[in-house]
A and B are shown apart, each in its own frame.
Chain A
């Protein structure tokens, strides 16, 4: 067997190291979904009436969609039908009492986050990062809240935002991703239990990275979180989310919604390092990651940038998008998606140009190894009024081994003749000659592959906040380990 096949084939088999389970007492809803469950969730969270109403509307919409079999089927992924009545929609670690400070977090939960490298003590964190930690359905701790509040920045769990800032929630919830948007967005709107909320007031530059760490722990539980970030005029924020889950034989559903709103001259940078449990080598288990993420550049000169490194999940269905409504607004999407073993990913972006002189950049890097199937799906739409719009798209695929696949589906719709569009695409394999060249300089096969893959992804990694760029590179090496031998 030639080096590239044999080398490359063994490269995928490192155990998922975040796969442990935490033993905590939970307060969970019974399996299944109906209006009573929605009411239960809303009551548990002591929500105001407008929230319950919104949830119920979303639920009824979803129930109608489900009857007409409207779960999206167009993506290049395949999975057995999901039984939505066999999922637990609410699970929370049982609080001993109301938490007054971070020190009162259940020690088991605290240890979980420590094992994941996310200590909840503020002094132990990177000094430049504030964290909201979400365990199953609820946010368990948010660090550096006080320091941020001095600047008028609100960074808290979604539940707290509903209690303490209902007007803001009411104004923006569903304004970018309405519950009617799609099947999973409707489901999320009905049952979402927590997530992060972030508000940056006018003219404030958030001095630290804000970060949410999502952890699914309980079995047969869906995680449905919702994140809402609003940047007022001239505000800036860089936000990062990370995710892991225990190893379980059954598939678990994760259907999140993220909404971003950028007003005049505001800049939101949203980075994701997604490392949900991907399933085992035979493709058993793993997270179904069906996520709707969208940002709206409402104001002039606003700027939204998505950066994602997707290495986990059995199936990823995700298209972080930008609606470029304000004149001169800018949307960016930088993505690395890796599929190994039997993972499937159908991911990409939508850039909707509405305002004049709007600009978008798409850089997508897909890596397939093992039996992985990796699809880029992107839409660039230039509306009639979008004079002088520009888009640059670059879509590169890297294949490792003989049994994986890379697919590209770009959609381009231009209704204004002044638009300038560029699209570049490439597909390459890690060459035997590249690996041999590295070997000849003393570098081992595994290190050669991670070096070559790192080079392939460099354009995207340089968009990540520095601390996380290193983490992303490591994660990629680990996820590929064993696919070369």
Chain B
């Protein structure tokens, strides 16, 4: 692995919600082109990390810093982060009744373009962009004309998230439990979409509870998050080890670590 630019640098991150501390000194560095996976038991802080990086205001960062392409990410509003190229595929995509999915994406793309000083896309150019990305995910055109996530099945929602990602072309993509609620076929489709978006210019952070997604999206690095801290890091084999042993062993180690 040669010298690559650092995309994201998290140092000693502490965050709490409703007065409860969830992240307790998390460190993580992700370089451009890499795919990292964060695994961990329920309640370890995986989703909190994803939400904090995206800028959800209900989480309070109490200590630490996050540099994104050298800039202080924590000072940016959620929409600035998005415009700077940070994308979050939601674990629970939100329904917006009455707002057409295509119209929504056009508003998003043009907001980002405006922020970057680019000309806004007109309807024709935008439609061409949509069509080219639809193939990638085997999307049914019907989903584009329905309201954002309204009445979508679990699989359709997740696929729609990856479709948003394909259209917005982020520099850093955070996938929060993208496999939850998917059957194996749907998971393959989503994973194929994600793999198609892997690129030397893009980094990904894949948050997941189960190893199975990582059979399809093979990460460069795997980190185990326990009780708000990364307790082990390794290559893709670490995921397999976890699958075999469960989180219990590692949690034991972590408890010991905390005592020391």
Name A's B-contacting residues (CB within 8 A): 2-3, 431-434, 436-445, 447, 451-452, 454-459
Contact = CB atoms under 8 A, between A and B. Distances in A.
Given A447-B107, A455-B97, A442 B56 contact: no
B96 A439 contact: no
A269 to B, nearest CB: 22
Contact of B99 (A3, A455, A459): A455
Given A455-B96, A459-B98, A436 B78 contact: yes
Nearest to B97: A455
A456 B98 contact: yes
A442 B99 contact: no
Contact of A437 (B83, B96, B107): B96
A477 B95 CA distance: 21
A350 to B, nearest CB: 27
Contacts of A437: 90, 93-94, 96
Nearest to A451: B99
A443 B98 contact: no
Interface in B49-102: 54-58, 77-79, 81-83, 87-88, 90, 93-99
Interface of B: 54-58, 77-79, 81-83, 87-88, 90, 93-99, 104-105, 107-109, 111-112, 115, 147, 164, 168
Contacts of A443: 79, 107-108, 111
Given A2-B57, A434-B96, A442 B147 contact: no
A440 B99 contact: no
Nearest to A7: B57
Contacts of B97: 455-456
A122 to B, nearest CB: 31
**Chain B CB within 10 Å — which of A444, A457, A459 has the most?**
A444
Contacts of A444: 79, 111
A66 B98 CA distance: 46
Given A434-B94, A436-B54, A442-B108, 10 more contacts: A436-B57, A437-B90, A437-B93, A440-B55, A440-B87, A441-B105, A441-B168, A451-B107, A452-B99, A459-B98
B11 to A, nearest CB: 23
Contacts of B168: 441-442
Contacts of B94: 431, 433-434, 436-437
**Considering residues B55, B96, B105, B147, which has the most beta carbons from chain A within 10 angstroms of its beta carbon?**
B96
Contacts of B78: 436, 439-440
Per DSSP, chain A at the interface is helix
Contacts of B164: 441
B196 to A, nearest CB: 20
Interface centre among A434, A436, A442, A458 (most CB of B within 10 A): A442
Contacts of A454: 98-99
Contacts of A434: 94-96
A102 B253 CA distance: 88
B90 to A, nearest CB: 7
The CB with the most chain A CB atoms within 10 A, among B54, B58, B78, B90, is that of B78
Nearest to A461: B98
Nearest to A426: B97
A56 B160 CA distance: 67
Contacts of B95: 434
A432 B107 contact: no
Nearest to B164: A441
A445 B95 CA distance: 16
A433 B112 CA distance: 20
Contacts of B55: 439-440
